[in-house]
Structures are given as structure tokens and as C-alpha cells.
Amino acid sequence: MENDNTIRRLKTVEGHMRGVIRMLEEDAYCIDVIRQIQAVEAALNKVSAQILEDHLNSCVTTAIKGNDPKERERVLKEITEVFEMANKV
């Protein structure tokens, strides 16, 4: 099940975040902390991309093949909004 893989990845990220917190508690070198944070961000981006790919291959594909133009418009608008929010960060 794809969801199991996503949850496993997120639990790995959670472990890395605990490591970042520990580094800060132990007054680790700032650049090392930043590198670990960047690794966490990259891992989260990978999870996000996988979820988006799954969504495109299921919900969006179903809506586009369907007969409801409002549903097609809704799912496409959602995708646009996701990309707009990603660019605001």
C-alpha cells in the first residue's frame, strides 16, 4: 500500500527532526544544523511530490475523465493553488 510508504517516510523525517532538536539542545555548529534542516526539507519535498503524483494519477485523472465540468475545474484549481502556495514559501 502506497500510504504505508508515505507514513514510513514521514516517520523517518520525524526522527531526523528529533535529531535537529537534539543538535540545538547540544549547541551544535550552526552550519551542521542548517544542513540537517535542509535534509529534512528535501525529505518532506519528496513526500509531498509523491502524494501529489498519487493525487494526479487518481483523483485528478478521475475528474478529468468524468462528465462533470465543475469537478474538473475544481481539481485543476486545487493543483494551481498548491503550486502558488509552494512559490510563496
Looking at residue 3, its amino acid is N
Total count of domains within the chain: 1
Does the structure show a pLDDT above 80 at 5? Answer: yes
Q: In 3D, which of 38, 8, 44 has the Cα closest to residue 20?
A: 38
Is the distance from CB of 61 to CB of 79 less than 8 angstroms? no
**Kindly report the CA angle at 78 between 70 and 72, in degrees rounded to 5?**
25
Residue 89: pLDDT band (50, 70, 90) is low
Q: What is the pLDDT of residue 83?
A: 86
**CATH of residue 59:** 1.20.58.1000
- The dihedral built from the CA positions of residue 10, 85, 66 and 71, taken in this order, carries a sign that is positive
Q: In 3D, which of 47, 61, 56 has the Cα closest to residue 79?
A: 56
Q: Which domain, by its residues, includes 58?
A: 2-88
Structure confidence by residue, pLDDT tens digits, 34-87: 999 999 999 999 999 999 999 999 999 999 899 999 999 999 999 999 888 888
